[in-house]
């Protein structure tokens, strides 16, 4: 995988867009480093770092031992001394051995030093299912990170956002957990290289009048497929792509829900204690008098990640989201709130 020539836009897969983002950051800033398990000569198990070691040298793009806690601890030390590490956790659940480093040190050092020391570290985490993997390879671990103050948590839903969000994450003065939906690595789309929506803002991927479907990462494409299918039922679905899970863009999300009066939150992670519970609570607290029906969720089941032959039953799909939209009290009109 090689970097493309600079242009207004070009069609790239999400994996290629991420590769281009790291290549451009490495080229522009000599303090940027990329390291992790097999990210060097192999280019990562998903080939997201393909060609970077050959282009920038093994002193800037290099392999590490299979020791995730050591990878993050090394990144913290490098960042304290003026570097900008971009590290890869090979799979979502592989990051758990590094959890203590992330939550106890990476997230807290700026506060602990009264602002004197920031840690510009990006931790890339391929996450989620849909690739026929097994447990430890398909976790949706976003809630662990979003619950930790001091961490910015973002996830792209399109190749264009993959490029822009990763560039913004690398430029951030503070740590960013960058969750990459591995099932979308090979999806293609137009990527623009100039200008972007700020990293902490959600975007409306599809406008609609009747219900807001709130999604992020791997579920953005599924939500858009649902919106198209919903037209056959007479529902005009608006799709909001959160992009940033922490901080949360209340303004964009609540403006959408106040317009439509109904909301469904969709994610792959288990429902109990999941990120969608926080979204549903915030939307209810801020939009209560505009709602026609309770905010509902479509999530993975409350089970360990299932074997490959069963994951299609675990992951939210178009039919499950449509069934949930149908439960939104369409016959009960609330006087005075429509279009408020």
Residue positions annotated with a catalytic role = 137
Tokens at 76, concatenated:
């913290």
Beta strands of the chain (E only): which ranges? 9-13, 32-36, 61-63, 84-88, 122-127, 152-154, 176-181, 188-192, 203-206, 211-215, 237-241, 244-246, 263-270, 296-300
Contact 60, 34 (CB under 8 A): yes
Q: Which residues pair with 258 in a beta bridge?
A: none
C-alpha–C-alpha distance, residues 103 and 39, integer Å: 24
Closest CA to 214 of 117, 281, 166: 281
Query: Token pair of 8, please?
Result: 């207004």
- Residue 201 contacts by C-beta under 8 Å, 6 or more apart in sequence? 243, 244, 249, 252
Residue 4 in tokens:
């493309």
CA-based nearest residue to 165, from 14, 62, 36, 34: 14
Strands 84-88 and 122-127: parallel
């Amino acid at each position: 995988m090689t970097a493309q020539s600079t242009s207004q836009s070009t069609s790239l897969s999400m994996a290629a867009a991420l590769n281009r983002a790291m290549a451009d950051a490495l080229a522009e800033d000599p303090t940027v480093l990329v390291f992790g398990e097999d990210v060097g000569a192999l280019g990562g198990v998903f080939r997201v770092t393909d060609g970077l070691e050959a282009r920038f040298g093994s002193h800037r793009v290099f392999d590490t031992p299979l020791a995730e806690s050591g990878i993050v601890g090394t990144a913290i030390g490098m960042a304290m001394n003026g570097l900008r590490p971009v590290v890869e956790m090979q799979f979502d659940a592989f990051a758990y051995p590094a959890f203590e480093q992330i939550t106890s040190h990476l997230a807290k050092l700026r506060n602990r030093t009264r602002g004197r020391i920031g840690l510009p570290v990006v931790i890339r985490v391929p996450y989620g299912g849909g690739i026929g993997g097994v447990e430890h390879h398909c976790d949706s671990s976003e809630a662990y990170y979003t619950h930790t103050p001091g961490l910015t948590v973002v996830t792209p839903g399109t190749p264009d956002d993959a490029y822009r969000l990763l560039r913004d994450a690398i430029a951030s003065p503070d740590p960013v957990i960058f969750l990459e939906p591995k099932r979308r690595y090979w999806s293609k789309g137009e990527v623009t290289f100039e200008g972007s929506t700020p990293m902490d803002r959600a975007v409306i991927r599809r406008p609609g009048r009747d219900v807001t479907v709130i999604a992020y990462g791997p579920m953005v494409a599924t939500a858009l497929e649902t919106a198209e299918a919903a037209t056959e039922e007479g529902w005009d679905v608006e799709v909001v792509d959160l992009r940033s899970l922490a901080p949360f863009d209340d303004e964009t999300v609540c403006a959408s829900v106040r317009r439509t009066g109904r909301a469904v939150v969709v994610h792959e992670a288990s429902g109990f204690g999941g990120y969608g519970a926080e979204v549903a609570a915030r939307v209810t607290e801020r939009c209560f008098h505009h709602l026609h029906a309770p905010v509902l969720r479509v999530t993975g089941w409350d089970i360990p990640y299932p074997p490959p032959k069963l994951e299609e039953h675990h992951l939210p799909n178009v039919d499950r989201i449509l069934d949930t939209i149908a439960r939104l009290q369409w016959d009960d009109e609330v006087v005075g709130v429509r279009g408020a």
